[in-house]
Structure 1
Amino acid sequence: MANSDLKHLEMWGPIILSLCSSILLYKFNINIFSNELKLVEIMIGTSGTIFGFLLALLALIIQGSSPKLLELAKNRKTLMNRVIKYNRTVVLLALLCLAFSLIVMIFGDSIKNNIIISSIYAFLATAMILYTIIFVLIFYEAIKY
């Protein structure tokens, strides 16, 4: 695979997989808000943790003045730009997922039985998880040198 193919896969892969999961849930009429899963409570904790941790990490990266961070910023500028870009993407997705989880929790059963809401929620959650994995891989690539 060429480098540009990997960039496209990295950028569009999570969106395509998230869209596929949403479409499959909608097509087969699968509601992910069943009482057995307690998905909303789990996603509030997960997305809140991801949001807080990555926002703090972004602040440390941008404002950091350690020799390692300065060296990374100077020598591996494109990789650090990717780290910052994916950090921002994951933080925004985590915030959307957190807000959506709170809306679902507030409105309760009237909104939980809607298959469209369930599919949108699955899209957001899947995208957040996949982009978090990509961010972690890129972050470790940036700091390994």
Structure 2
Amino acid sequence: MVAHAKTTAFATGAALARSTPTTRRARATVMTRAKYGDESVYFDLSDVEATTGSWDVYGVDSASRYPEQQAAFFEAAAQGLGRREAVYSVLAVSAGLLTVAYGVKGAKDAKLPITVGPQQPAQVGPRDRI
């Protein structure tokens, strides 16, 4: 005899009562509206700042706000970093310096075995050799 899970209980073999299907209730419909949702207008060309936000982040961009001496300094300081090769060379030199600095200072602070030295006396071998 083959037992089906829908009609019988597995262990006892007794028939199960069928449950009556429950009716589902319909959800209430909700109208979604956008800020400028009247007549399907979502972007107001006459009021762009209210639609997309203010893109004028820094306010006035005049020479009086940023002194000419300050502008000249930053242009001269960043002039060497204008090319990709220059940026790569700065990164390579700084990576080398950081590696050397870690070898000098960081390895001692991390107490690596090569900087600490032997902790126990050397064991003598079978022929009285180290």
TM class, shorter-chain normalised? under 0.3
Scaled by the length of structure 1, what TM-score is found? 0.22
**Structure with the greater alpha carbon radius of gyration:** 2
Greater percentage in helix:
1
Scaled by the length of structure 2, what TM-score is found? 0.24
Higher-RCO chain (CA-CA 8 Å, sequence separation at least 6): 1
